[in-house]
Amino acid sequence: MIGLGTGGIERIVALGAHCDDIAIGAGGTLLTLCAAHPGVRVDALVLSGGGTERETEERAALAAFCQEADVDVTVLKLPDGRFPAHWEEAKNSLEELRRRTDPDLVLSPRTADAHQDHRGLATLVPTVFRTHLQLEYEIAKWDGDLAKPTAYVPLTPEIAEQKVRLLQEHYASQRHRPWYDREAFLGLARIRGIECGQRYAEAFDLKKLTLDLTPKG
């Protein structure tokens, strides 16, 4: 397996349909990136949960996941599970975010995700962030929609443990769910780690990549 780097990262866009999507799918990646690039700008946009306890949880959680970063969080009030009926509002919010930033990396849900809200957001991303590196994160669920990923971000054991701890600490509203536990989060990270020759990893779909193969310096 070939390891490819991204070079310098100064701006990240993180997108979620629901509060906790970003942290579950890419929390370890954010922890890794923000520690490696102090002062990096992270613009997070979440489509639902605005004005509820979930927004409060999300803001605290993303602040913890991005401690070394300059973080801006926007949480909209689209109704959970009804994303297709609010397509225009979601598209407008993405376009407004794009006018404010030109990111080096976009983190978003998978277009192959079985949840209609995740899938709907994912299909909008490349229509707005057309020339950007986009990593589509995965979220385990009862639908059984996990597939073979195309990109991996290795996580140190310390980062993997920190991710699980922060998920449990900040999203109290989700602790009652049968899939929301340490075994699920760390187990998937361990499997993805095996697949890329590491102890732990987060996995992503990567639809398009432009390679610069010219020698540097």
Name the residue with tokens 């997070």: 44
55's tokens: 């927004």
Helices (H), the chain: 21-36, 53-65, 87-100, 116-128, 157-170, 182-195
Superfamily of domain covering 11-205: LmbE-like (3.40.50.10320)
How wide is the angle at C-alpha 8 spanned by C-alphas 204 and 201, nearest 5°? 30
Residue 125 exposed, middle or buried by CB count within 10 Å (0-12, 13-18, 19+):
buried
Q: Given this model, what pLDDT does residue 159 score?
A: 98
In the block, tokens 């390891």 appear at 3
| pLDDT at residue 2, rounded to an integer | 57
What is the secondary structure of 95-118 as a DSSP string? HHHHHH---SEEEEE-TT-SSHHH
pLDDT tens digits, one per residue of 30-53: 999 999 999 999 999 999 999 999
Residue ranges covered by each domain of the chain: 11-205
The model's pLDDT over 172-205, given as tens digits with 9 standing for 90+, comes to 999 999 999 999 999 999 999 999 999 999 999 9
What are the tens digits of pLDDT across the range 85-108? 788 999 999 999 999 999 999 999
pLDDT at 217 over 70: no
